[in-house]
Amino acid sequence: MQSCSRRLMTYLNQKIGFAIHRRYFCDKAKTTLKGNANILLKQIEARILAAGPITVAEYMKEVLTNPTAGYYMNRDVFGQTGDFITSPEISQMFGELIAVWLVNEWTKCGRPTPFQIAELGPGRGTLMADILRVFSKFKIAGSDFSVSLVEVSPYLAQVQEKQLSPRQAQEATKLPQGSQHYKQSISFYGSQVRWYNHIADLPRTFTLFLAHEFFDALPIHKLVKVDQGWREVLIDLNREDLTLRFVISRDRTPACLYRLDNESREELEVSPQSLIITQAMAARIHQDGGIGLVIDYGHEGDKTDTFRGFKNHKLHDPLVDPGTADLTADVDFSALKWAATHPRTFEDWKANLTYGTVDQKDFLTRVGINLRLEQLLASCRDEDVALNLKSAHKMLTDPMEMGSKFKFLALYPSVMEKILERYPPPGFV
C-alpha cells in the first residue's frame, strides 16, 4: 500500500510541483435572510392549511430549492462565513489527491476519449478548480475533454463560473436551440464547461462521475414503526402558536414501501431521489463507460434519526426559520450500493462493481496525503501557511474531525472486474 501511495505521489511531484494555494473565503451574499425565512414559512403554512401535513422530503425540497427563498438558491452558504465548510475549501491537498486518483483510474480504463468529468452539486467549484489544475499538468484539456456540472442554483452556477472560467464578466454563451445545458463557458485551461439541471441531461460519453457532499442534501422520508406497522413522520402546523411540528401519519404512505422486509430498525430515513440518481449514474457507467466516486458523511444502513439543520457551523432546529439554515441527513451508503447493483427489469444495464465504503482518513492516507503534506511543508517559507497546512491535514484525517465521519464509495462497470482484481482501486484496499 505504501508503494501505491508513492506512485501517486510521484505523479504529484513530477506534474503538480510544490505550489501552495491559499484558500480565500468570499463574503456571504448580502440577503435579507429573515425576510426570506418569513416568506418561505408563510408559503409552507399556507400549503399545510390547504392540503394538510407535508412529508419531510417535501419540506426539504421547498426549504433548500425554492426559487425565491430557498437556502441554496440566492447566496453563498459555504466556508468560514457560511453555515458549513467542505473538504475542498479546507486544503488543496484534498482536490489534488482526488484528481490524481481520477487520472489513475481513467488510465486503468485505457484513457478513452472523448470523455467528461461530471460533478453533482459542485458547491463553489473549488474541488473542480483543483481537479482541472491537476488535469492540466497531465495535458488533459481541449476538445477531447469537457466538464459537466449538475447544478440547480443560479447563484452557485455564477460562483462556479467565476471560479473556473476567465470570462467572469461575460454573459453565458448564447446556446443553440435544443441544448440540454443551460449555461456554458471555457475553463482557464481551455476545456468546455457546461451546466445542467439533471443528470439525465448529461452527454452520452465516458464519464468520471463525482459527487462530493451531494447526496446528504437530497430529500429524505422519515419512517417510524408503531404498533399498527410502519408510518411516516410528517410536518404539520401548530395552530396555537403557528410553529411547525412533527406528527405521525394515520396510515401507511407510499414512502413506507421503500423499507426492507427484514428491517430491524424502529426508525429509518429513506431517499428515493438518491436511489434514482444512483441508478441513473450506474446505468451510464455500464452503457457509456465510466467511474463513479461518491464522498459524503453517512452510514451503512445502521443509523436512524439523522435529519438536522446547520447554521453558522452549529446545529439548528430544522423546523425553525426555514430557508436560513442548511437541512441535511446522513447518507445511507448501503442503499446507494443496493441501487447501483439492482437494475430494474426493464432497464438495459448491469450491476456496477462497488468498492467501499472506507473512511476519509483511510482513503486519503492510502493515496498519500501524509507524503503530500511533507512535500508542501518542505517548500513552505511562511510559518502561518505551514501551520494552516498542518491544521487542514488534521481536520481532513483526524477521526474526531472529518476523518471518520466522511466515507468514500466507488462504482465501476462490471466489465472491469478482472482488471480490478489485479489492480484494485487505490485508497480502498
C-alpha count within 13 angstroms, C-beta hemisphere, residue 327: 25
Other residues' Cβ atoms within 10 Å of the Cβ of residue 22: 8
What would the mean pLDDT of 331-348 be, rounded to a whole number? 93
Other residues' Cβ atoms within 10 Å of the Cβ of residue 335: 23
* C-alpha–C-alpha distance, residues 190 and 185, integer Å: 10
* C-alpha–C-alpha distance, residues 391 and 93, integer Å: 12
Percent of the chain residues past pLDDT 70, beyond the cut: 87
Cα Rg, the chain, nearest whole Å: 22
What would the mean pLDDT of 310-319 be, rounded to a whole number? 89
Report residue 83's pLDDT band, with 50, 70 and 90 as the boundaries.
very low
* C-alpha–C-alpha distance, residues 79 and 88, integer Å: 10
- What's residue 82's pLDDT? 46
Q: Are 336 and 294 in contact (CB under 8 A)?
A: yes
Share the mean pLDDT of the chain: 88
For 356-366, what is each residue's pLDDT tens digit? 999 999 999 99
pLDDT of 145 over the 60 cut:
yes
What would the mean pLDDT of 282-307 be, rounded to a whole number? 97
Percent of the chain residues past pLDDT 90, beyond the cut: 72
- The torsion defined by the Cα of 28, 75, 198 and 97, in degrees rounded to 10, comes to 0
Axis-axis angle for helices 333-341, 272-288 (nearest 10): 40
Q: Are 60 and 358 in contact (CB under 8 A)?
A: no
Main-chain phi, psi angles of 155, to 5 degrees: -65, -50
For 322-338, what is each residue's pLDDT tens digit? 988 899 999 999 999 99
- Cα distances from 75 to residues 59, 78, 161, 320, in angstroms, run 20, 9, 15, 19
What would the mean pLDDT of 255-281 be, rounded to a whole number? 94
Omega of the bond leading into 114 within 30 degrees of 0 (cis): yes
For 364-411, what is each residue's pLDDT tens digit? 999 999 999 999 999 888 899 899 999 999 999 999 999 999 999 999
Indicate the DSSP class of residue 109. Answer: T
DSSP E strand stretches across 50-137: 54-55, 115-120
What would the mean pLDDT of 197-214 be, rounded to a whole number? 97
Q: What are 51's three cell numbers?
A: 392540503
Report residue 12's pLDDT band, with 50, 70 and 90 as the boundaries.
low
For 159-196, what is each residue's pLDDT tens digit? 999 999 986 534 455 677 778 999 999 999 999 999 99
- Cα distances from 72 to residues 12, 209, 242, 370, in angstroms, run 34, 22, 25, 34
- What's residue 175's pLDDT? 78
Check: pTM over 0.85? Answer yes or no: yes
Helix (H) or strand (E) holding 119: strand 115-120
- What's residue 5's pLDDT? 56
Q: Are 86 and 123 in contact (CB under 8 A)?
A: yes
- Helix ranges restricted to H, 178-320: 272-288
For 54-72, what is each residue's pLDDT tens digit? 999 999 999 999 888 888 8
**Strand, coil or helix: 350:** coil
